[in-house]
Amino acid sequence: MSLYGQIFCTFAKIGAFTIGGGYAMLPLIQKEVVEKKQWISPDDFVDMIALSQSVPGILAVNIAIFTGHRMKGNAGSIVATLGSILPSFVIILLIAMFFRNFQDNPYIVKIFNAIRPAVVALIAVPVFTTAKSVGINLKTVIIPVAAAFLIWYLGVSPVYIVLAAALGGIIYGRIKNKM
């Protein structure tokens, strides 16, 4: 199979078998792209996550774009993006066509209620994986905890958190360089 076919099939598999959106897709993307295929290094993957969160668009699609571009340029980006979004598009289209007939079915309601905790776990895994790979430890854990608290409990806009983190990084870098 050509590299284009591999890129498409890899991201189609990720798109088809992940429920819960971009963050839930991260463990599967990491396993396929970093560990199995070794298209991206672990450090580059963490950078890709950060960059994918910083630009407009869907996280998993942005990662597909960056990975495809790394592998085969603009054509690779298009192939990876199509692979990432087509399965979800088809599944959502089928659900939209047929769900209205089943939305009040108690078994369907139970299925969706059972899926919710699994989605939370799928989202939690990349948090811990990313924290480990960027070197979050007991000394530095206060930063993400404080950021989460400020956003969740106090309602501070994430934009201000990112700006404060950027400013803090610049100040820290200048202080460290002077030492």
Residues with Cβ within 8 Å of 127's Cβ and at least 6 positions away in sequence, in order, are 23
Burial 66-100 (b: 16+ CB within 10 A, else e): bbbbbbbeeebbbbbbbbbbebbeeeeeeeeeeee
Is 80 exceeded by the pLDDT of residue 133?
no
Phi/psi of residue 57, nearest 5 degrees: 120, 180
- pLDDT of res. 20: 64
More confident residue, 59 or 17: 59
Write down the pTM of the prediction: 0.65
Contact 59, 52 (CB under 8 A): yes
pLDDT tens-digit series, residues 135-177: 888 888 888 899 999 999 999 999 999 899 899 989 988 998 8
Mean pLDDT to the nearest integer, 102-111: 83
pLDDT at 129: 76
Read off the pLDDT of residues 32-91 as tens digits, 9 standing for 90 and up.
Answer: 999 999 999 988 998 998 889 888 888 889 999 999 999 999 999 999 999 999 998 898
For position 10, what pLDDT does the model report? 95
Can you give the pLDDT at residue 26?
85
